Chain A
Amino acid sequence: MGSPVSNTPNHPDDRDAPETPGTPELSGTPAVPHQAEAPAPVEGERTRRASRKVDRIDRLAELTARRETTTGAGLWVEAFRRLRTSKMAIIGACIIAVFVVLAIIGPWIAPYSPTAQSWRGEVFPNRGLFVGPRGENWLGLDHLGRDVFSRMLVGARQTLMVGVVATLIGFTVGALIGGVSGAALVLGGRAGQRIDAVIMRFIDMMLALPSLLLAVSIAAVMGQSLTTVMIAVGVVQIPIFARLLRGAMLAQGGSDYVLAARALGVRRRRIVMAHVVPNSLSPVIVQATLALATAIIEAAALSFLGLGNPDAAQPEWGVMLAQAQRFFDQAPMLAVYPAVGIIITALGFTLLGEAMREALDPKLRS
């Protein structure tokens, strides 16, 4: 029982190897180093014991396999596995998928031109005369006699674009600022702290501005256009992304493995690029998903305040909603369609984002 092998602590990876280390019969297996050759038993004895041993091992392996074993998968792999079982994530992903498909193929499957005022003569907003859903126009006509269904389909693309571009702006600039700030802090030194302090003051300042006002001021400088809306909504997201990434990097920077890497003499820049940044990205990615929802809603609010896309040739849900408010009393459905579109889309991104947040939260991992 006491061969030298049994004294060496087993490497955890070896433990599922079926042989019981330390028994002379199996000490010849290459995986097991042996300093002292165990005395060979008599031939008959050996086979008899060996066969019993095989029985035992087989039986044990069989029983062990019956137990559920969790393998140590990576953070993202595991998160994805959990996402697939999350109802929230599935619903969110489905909504997003439908929305994206609509945004891509919408202009081709739209039955009519979204801008042609083909039924101008049938709608009289001044007298409160509107045309509701009918065979020809599934969602009715808007105040200028345009087909609402076609406008909704075509508008999906613009809406998605506003959301994506705005979020990309916020994400890129925010992550850059936050990353620089966080890296400066983690890389250490008094200079790093000072850089971080200056950047964070600036970010706090941006946070102190109500998002809408920030957007309004940008729109005031840049004039009224779709680009303005996208930039304005994106800029609002910058401080959020920056703070998030910096905070996550700070937490990672103080963690034991960074300390360990430092102690091992890994270059600081390498620590930041190879360890700190990748491990800090998950909250930022979650935020990006959530920001898509916010961006679409904010864009609608800007349109409502008259700062939206003035280009009538490009239908967009936010603008449609803003325009329909005027006729809310007579034709509430005109506002409801784009509003429902916005709400459902925003919900899709929010659901997915929240599910991702949950899936990535180490505290919730079981």
Chain B
Amino acid sequence: MALLTVDELSVTFTARGRRDVTAVSGVSFDVAQGEVVGLVGESGCGKSVTSLALMGLLPRKGVRLGGVADFDGTDLLTLSPSRMRDLRGRQLAMIFQDPLSSLNPVVPIGVQVTEILARHRGMKGERARKEAASLLDRVGIPDPDRRLREYPHQLSGGMRQRALIAMAVACAPRLLIADEPTTALDVTIQAQILELLRELVDQEGTALLMITHDLGVVAGLCDRVNVLYAGKVVEAAERRPLFSDPAHPYAHGLLGSIPRLDAPRGQPLHPIRGSINDTIAWADGCAFAPRCDHYTLECLEGTPALGELAGAAGPGHLVRCVNPVRDSSDLHTPLLEAPVMDASAEGDDEAPSPGTSAATSADTSVDTSSDTSSDTAPDAGAEPAAEPVADTDGASGGAPGKDTPA
């Protein structure tokens, strides 16, 4: 039994005199205790709205919610505001994207940490302060007693995010939602924060819902991944099959958009055309069709269903596509550059996940290496596969060097 079961969640913004805008339409996924689940997609695909809906942080006026979000037997979507208030911070906690704007600039850090202790754990005065100091210490903030007296602007970016994490985990919540927690941070800090989150999940068994557009973060942290597009899950799979055999053209395209160190020089990226605004209504067909390279007329006949991928390596690989990508090698390498394709396709076959994850852009490689150390053997095997290619490439010699120390 999963801790959180989201079933057909839909969020529609209604404003008088304007058309209703459906930001999320029928998103379903599960998060189990101790599991890290990723929600991945471009900005505007509805991933943040999903998290806010789960936290009950969307305004009550002008928003219509649908579906069920079952959190250990209670439906988060229909809970009364005061019950939700009791739940938030204690059982459900959230970490936001921009640590500076997410902290109150005129209130000392200490107060911002202790107020949640006072609210949910009844701690006051010296006891609360001590606990706050130990929380800051736990998330790796040095000299916590001094930091408690300081204001957000006196802290560095990474420290602010740590402080926010300290607040989020202050009451040992059962579900932690992290909305792009590393986007606003420097690369090195990103890795540290992800490491911290990983630790917290491992130690406490907290379920983590990770919302991100960064596939490097997904590769390093998530157990299961849901790819969102225009308010719907278009593909859901375990991390490994998703990275090796992305079946939806969008997921495929996302992976193709990542610069790879092992790609030969001059080989162009495979960006997805257009932007998330080039879309059609799901009711009319696949919203991705306008950007899809091989849509057919069937794609434009109503919403494609989210179904088990035929011929998937394992169960639980769901895809919402009429004609999913069968052979993932074709998008990775253009037909015209056949020689390269062969080499790369070989690598894909043998160690598929690392082929993409370990060789993502320079800024995500740090994350993935932290993943390799803690996780699996094939990943480690991928490193040498990636490095020789990069090493022969004189110009990018600095990049692998960046890779190794981390």
Contacts and interface: CB of A to CB of B under 8 A. Distances in A.
A associates with B? yes
Contact of A56 (B271, B295, B331, B334): B295
Contact of B280 (A1, A36, A55, A66): A66
A63 B300 contact: yes
A68 interface: yes
A189 B161 CA distance: 39
A16 B274 CA distance: 9
Contacts of A7: 268, 270, 334
Interface residues of A, number: 27
B284 interface: yes
A2 B297 CA distance: 20
Contacts of B290: 60, 64
B289 interface: yes
A19 B295 CA distance: 12
Given A2-B336, A67-B279, A59 B300 contact: yes
Contacts of B295: 56, 60
Interface in B286-326: 289-290, 293-297, 300
A4 B336 contact: yes
A332 B104 CA distance: 53
A69 B273 CA distance: 17
Contact of A59 (B294, B297, B333, B334): B297
Kindly name the residue among B19, B277, B333 whose own CB sees the greatest number of chain A CB atoms within 10 A: B277
A56 to B, nearest CB: 6
B330 A1 contact: yes
A125 interface: no
Interface string A57-85: 00110011011110000000000000000
Nearest to A7: B268
Given A3-B336, A66-B280, A52 B297 contact: yes
A9 interface: yes
B343 to A, nearest CB: 16
A6 B336 CA distance: 11
Given A15-B274, A60-B280, A63-B280, A6 B19 contact: no
A1 B296 CA distance: 13
Interface residues of B, number: 29
Contact of A4 (B19, B289, B334): B334
B300 A1 contact: no
B19 A68 contact: yes
Nearest to A23: B293
Contacts of A3: 335-336
B281 interface: yes
A20 interface: yes
Contacts of B279: 64, 67
A107 B334 CA distance: 80
A66 B281 CA distance: 8
B281 A36 contact: no
Nearest to A6: B293
A68 B335 CA distance: 37
A20 to B, nearest CB: 7
Contacts of A56: 295-297, 300
A1 B281 contact: no
A258 B289 CA distance: 39
Interface string B2-45: 00000000000000000100000000000000000000000000
A8 interface: yes
A22 interface: yes
B278 A15 contact: yes
Given A1-B293, A1-B294, A63-B300, A36 B285 contact: no
A137 to B, nearest CB: 46
Interface of B: 19, 268-271, 273-275, 277-281, 284-285, 289-290, 293-297, 300, 330-331, 333-336
20 contacts: A1-B331, A2-B335, A7-B270, A7-B334, A9-B268, A10-B273, A15-B273, A15-B274, A15-B278, A21-B273, A55-B297, A56-B296, A60-B280, A60-B290, A60-B295, A63-B281, A63-B300, A66-B281, A66-B284, A67-B281
